[in-house]
Chains A and B, each alone.
Chain A
Amino acid sequence: MTRAISLTINGKHYEHDVEPRLLLIHYLREVAGLTGSHMGCETSLCGACTVELDGKAIKSCTMFAVQANGANIVTIEGLASPEGKLHPMQEAFWNEHALQCGFCTPGMIMVSKQIVERNPSPTDTEIREGLDGNICRCTGYQHIVNAVRTAAKAGA
């Protein structure tokens, strides 16, 4: 049994028949072919799968694809301009060495973008609290905090 869904991802329209149990992260990665978002824990606790759905950062590992029917989704692949100009948050992560293995990075960038959108001049404490739903095992977060602060100052 499948259900028809139609949604927009990174400005592009998608229509598929999917099993109701198909997780949104698997739909994005395996059906839509957008493998930038990662599955890190399957339980909403690590944030590697964070994408933006109707303007809000959500964890796509604990949402079914059918629940995203009609939604407008932005993934890490949709942040840079079509010409390849990086989003200021991507640029800040690069400049500040805010990533090492890179696995958590797409989710980190998506949540960081939201932190600054909600609060254009966050304190370090506010940045850290905003990052708390996402785990990074490599960086100790310090350079990520630097990146978010820098991007905020640059008006990301």
Chain B
Amino acid sequence: MATTVTNIEKLVGKRIRRKEDPRLITGTATYVEDIKLPGMHHAVIVRSPHGAANIKGVDISKAAALPGVAAVFTGADITGVGSVVCGADLPGLRKPVHHILAQSRVYYVGHPVAVVVATDRYIAADGADLVEVDYEVTQAVTDPEKALAEGAPAVHPEWPDNKAFVFLQKGGDMEKAFADAEVVVKQRITSQRLVPNAMETRGVVADWLQAEHSLTLFTSTQIPHLARTILAGQLGIDENRVRVVAPEVGGGFGSKLNVYAEEALMGFISRKIGKPVKWIESRRENFLVTIHGRGHVDYFEIAAKRDGTILGLKLKLIQDLGAYHQLLTPAIPTLSVLMMPGLYNFRNIDAEVIGTFTNCVPTDAYRGAGRPEATHGIERMVDLLAAELNMDPAVIRFKNFVQPDQFPFPTATGLNYDSGDYGATLQKALDTIGYDDLRKQQAAARLEGRLMGIGISTYGELCAFGPSPATPAGGWESATVRVEPSGKVTIHTGTSPHGQGQETSFAQLAADELGVSMDDIVVLHGDTSVIPYGIGTFGSRNTAVGGPALFYALQDIKEKVKKFGKMLLKSENVVFENGKCTCQVSGKEVTFQTIAGAAYRAMQLPPDTDPGLVATKFWEPSNFAFPFGAHIIVSEVDRETGQIEIKRYVAVDDIGNQLNPLLVEGQVHGGAAQGLGQALWEHGIYDDNGQLMTGEFMDYAMPRASMMPWVECSHTTTPSPVNPLGVKGVGEAGTIGSTPAMVNSVMDALMPLGIRHLDMPLTPEKVWKAINGAA
């Protein structure tokens, strides 16, 4: 007798509100700053006010004498503590030793010089004011091109110049491409320094337990396990005696994909004073000492036929590294090189990256990390080429796209694009926005003297980091599914979500696979004493790498459940569906919950089967995943003021299958805000002395609600063949797609004035000057 099974409604693909929200909307979540331990002290760091200076002396006597101050440490005290780790390597890379407190010299404004520890945060701040540092100021250099010029002051005097590395990559035959070219377009394009500005600044609580020789460290990080490995090494503590906890983390965007000086410093202090110690970064410090993003000066040359066929792309990339390497600093511009061909079918590239030291805070991964710069470059160059050839920017893109039958597509930079239909995405965006009609409206507007622009960006990105050989620390991810005796399910993920919503989307996936309610599932992450080793959250990898790890762990659970089901139903003809095992012959059923109980009670076990119901999977992807999309922005520039008004924003993204479209939209919106921030408003500006001129929200223009347009989101769906879920990753897509669409829109608006290119951010002042210079 065959049994009819009524399928329970599947949750994957549904817009489901988040499981993590109740604690967040009631103010009961625990971020690092909310942690209070008995006897906890507070640390405040004394930082360099100079971009470059020799330290002639540090007088801590007044600070040390202040009632309530427990200790003051300077660079002389931190012997034995390892320096800040850079996990990236390149041939010939100069790696300056990056001490956790400055030794005889400071290299950027904000460089930590001393730390005051007190019973109270206000007293610690008073103490920091009393530390007297005698500086001999030297010449700083903050502009990367000036830093490369003959006679520039050396940021690190042990080397004669400021070149940290030169990285070359070639693909195809560039000489032939340029020899065959009928047109070559050149442009210098910058991607300015940006300040990630997670709303929660960084913070650390360190708690050394002498009797156990163990350290517990709560830190606002995206990579708790990697942080543990690195901190154990820096502090000389056994890795299994270091527990790193990422509690609620208030945003990261790459800025917390790092292990900073303050994390080891707090571990060191707690061990020294025998008390827990807390350090919370101020916003001012966050601007000055947490990594910045971007910092490119790019020289592009694109070679093409007059019919618009692109033949090749040359790039000289000057990367402003800042004064030191943080975890991945030198690797970030190499990601730009990988993605420099964009979505286009040309096989010749030639790139030279010059990593340049400056007296600024290090740059490192910020949402998109190298891909926004690459995409901005190629998308601007395609538009400039279209203008040169008097072609429509949509037409030139269609002409050059990699075609659907070319996948997997090997690029000139050594990547293998997984899947896509780039033309379909652009066509959908054009149809949605009514492109042909818009061009007519634009022609009419131009006749009236109005500056209307239509900007297209067809972006591709590589994400789901990634195959292990392509990453500095392993590119796999882990997941454990622990079914409790009651049948409730606890999931451990090695990713470390901090806003992305995997407590929800992973519960959706597990609920579908196991046939249990989402309410019966808890997703845990971020605590190295609980969670098996994981790589963490960055590079749009949670769903695309952590998801498959979870999927395969769930398959193992299902297999074991079936074994118990067969045993309990005394039949080989058993299926596990919708939360129960059913005998296909008798129709008898046994629930998942009953099986879970039986697995732990273990009165009887199936053949060759252990008690318990737990599965752990480490999953290694065979390739990156490559999301893509088309963003189109319609804008109008006010001739009198240079003000830009965004009229419409259409985003069509293809991120493969979606676990929860509501969360996907949130990622696109947030990414778009950060990308528009770069295009229009944000800029980390250093003066020649190394002062950060935009070091507060008063000066650094963060996108606010009234500045943002309505983003019209839609999708095409091309599943990725790289993983069993067919997902690609969406964390960075919006940031990558939005920036060139915005800039192309404004440049399209300004085209009648003969303005060819402006560098970001396109502030009204900059636009007004260009209009008036052109007039």
* Segment of B51-59, B67-75, B197-205 engaged in the interface with chain A: B197-205
Size bracket of the B interface: 35 or more
**Contacting A101 at CB < 8 Å: which of B30, B499, B696?**
B499
Interface string of B6-25 (1 = CB under 8 A from A): 00000000000110111111
Tell me which residues across on chain A come within 8 A of B501, comparing CB atoms.
100
Indicate which residue in A80, A99, A103 contacts B31 across the interface (CB closer than 8 Å).
Answer: A103
A18: min CB distance to chain B, Å: 11
Q: How far is the CB of A16 from chain B (nearest CB, A)?
A: 15
Whether B620 sits at the interface, judged by CB under 8 Å, is no
Q: Is A68 in contact with chain B by the CB < 8 A criterion?
A: no
Given A99-B24, A100-B500, A43 contacting B697 (CB threshold 8 A): yes
**Chain A contacts for B33, CB-based, 8 A:** 29, 35, 38-39
Report whether B705 and A106 are in contact in the complex, using a CB–CB cutoff of 8 Å: no
- Residue in B21, B22, B198, B671 whose Cβ sees the most chain A Cβ within 10 Å: B21
Cross-chain contact B199 with A21 (CB below 8 angstroms): no
Judged by a CB distance under 8 angstroms, whether B143 is at the interface is: no
Choice from A94, A131, A141 contacting B673 with Cβ under 8 Å: A141
B657–chain A nearest beta-carbon distance, Å: 19
Report the nearest B residue to A33, measured CB to CB.
B36
**Contact between chains at A128 and B24 (CB < 8 Å):** no
Which residues of chain A have C-beta atoms less than 8 A from B697's C-beta? 41, 43, 45-46, 135
Number of interface residues of A (CB under 8 A): 58
Stretch at the interface among A1-9, A52-60, A142-150: A142-150
**A89 CB, nearest partner CB in chain B, Å:** 9
Q: Say whether A76 contacts B662, CB under 8 Å.
A: no
Q: Does A116 contact B (CB under 8 A)?
A: no
Of the residues A104, A132, A138, contact of B666 by C-beta under 8 Å: A138
- B34 partner residues in chain A, CB cutoff 8 A: 29, 35
Query: Which of A37, A46, A100 has the most C-beta atoms of chain B within 10 angstroms of its own C-beta?
Result: A100
- Per-residue contact bits, chain B 327-359, to A (CB 8 Å; 1 contact, 0 not): 000000000000000000000000000000000
C-alpha gap A32/B372 in the complex (Å): 44
Residue among A40, A42, A131 with the highest chain B CB neighbour number at 10 A = A40
* Residues 400-441 (chain B) with a chain A CB within 8 angstroms: none
> Given contacts A42-B282, A142-B711, A143-B665, is CB(A86)–CB(B672) below 8 Å?
no
Of B121, B250, B696, B711, chain A has the most CB atoms within 10 Å of the CB of B250
Q: For the complex, what is the distance from the CA of A48 to the CA of B29, rounded to whole Å? A: 14
Q: Which residues of A contact B283 (CB under 8 A)?
A: 40-43, 46
What CA separation (Å) do A135 and B337 show in the bound complex? 33
Chain A at the B interface: SS class: loop
* A74-114 at interface with B (beta carbon < 8 Å): 75-77, 79-80, 86, 90, 93-95, 97, 99-106, 109
The answer to whether B669 touches A99 (Cβ under 8 A) is no
Q: How far is the CB of A103 from chain B (nearest CB, A)?
A: 3
- A101 touching B498 by the CB < 8 A rule? yes
Q: In the complex, which residues of chain A have a beta carbon less than 8 angstroms from the beta carbon of B705?
A: 127-129, 131-132, 134, 136, 141, 144-145
Is B251's beta carbon under 8 Å from chain A?
yes
Q: Give the Cβ gap from B663 to chain A, nearest Cβ, in Å.
A: 7
Closest to A106 in B: B27
Tell me whether B27 and A137 are in contact (CB under 8 A): no
Cβ contacts B656-677/A at 8 Å (1 or 0 each): 0000001101100111111000
Contact A75:B27 (CB < 8 A) given known A97-B17, A127-B705, A137-B251: yes
Q: How many residue-residue contacts, CB under 8 A, span A and B?
A: 175
For B198, the chain A residues whose CB sits under 8 A away are 101, 103, 137
Q: A90 vs B671: C-alpha distance in the bound complex, in angstroms?
A: 24
Q: Is A156 an interface residue (CB 8 A)?
A: no
Complex-state Cα separation, A41 to B699, whole angstroms: 13
A77 touches B21 (CB 8 A): no
Contacts of A41 in B (CB 8 A): 283, 696-697
B27 CB contacts on chain A under 8 angstroms: 34-37, 75-77, 106
Provide the bound-state CA to CA distance between A141 and B696, in Å: 21
Q: Are B199 and A137 in contact (CB under 8 A)?
A: yes
Contacts of A35 in B (CB 8 A): 27, 30-31, 33-34
B710 interface residue per 8 A CB criterion = yes
Kindly state the separation between the CA atoms of A142 and B664 in the bound complex, as whole angstroms.
13
In this assembly, does A70 line the interface, its C-beta being within 8 Å of a C-beta of chain B? no
**Closest residue of chain A to B498, judged by CB?**
A101
B28 interfacial by beta-carbon distance below 8 Å: yes
A94-B21, A101-B250, A102-B248 in contact; A137/B670 too (CB < 8 A)? yes
- With A76-B27, A97-B665, A125-B706 given, can you name 6 additional A-B contacts, CB distance below 8 Å? A43-B283, A43-B696, A43-B698, A99-B25, A103-B199, A142-B669
A residues contacting B by CB (< 8 A) are: 19, 21-22, 26, 29-30, 34-43, 45-46, 48, 75-77, 79-80, 86, 90, 93-95, 97, 99-106, 109, 124-125, 127-129, 131-132, 134-145
Residues of B within 8 A of A (CB): 17-18, 20-31, 33-34, 36, 121-122, 197-201, 248-251, 253, 280, 282-284, 498-501, 662-663, 665-666, 669-674, 696-698, 702-706, 708, 710-711, 734
Between A and B, 19 residue pairs with Cβ closer than 8 Å are A34-B27, A36-B27, A37-B27, A40-B201, A41-B283, A77-B27, A94-B21, A101-B499, A102-B499, A103-B200, A125-B706, A129-B705, A129-B706, A131-B706, A135-B702, A137-B253, A141-B708, A144-B705, A145-B705
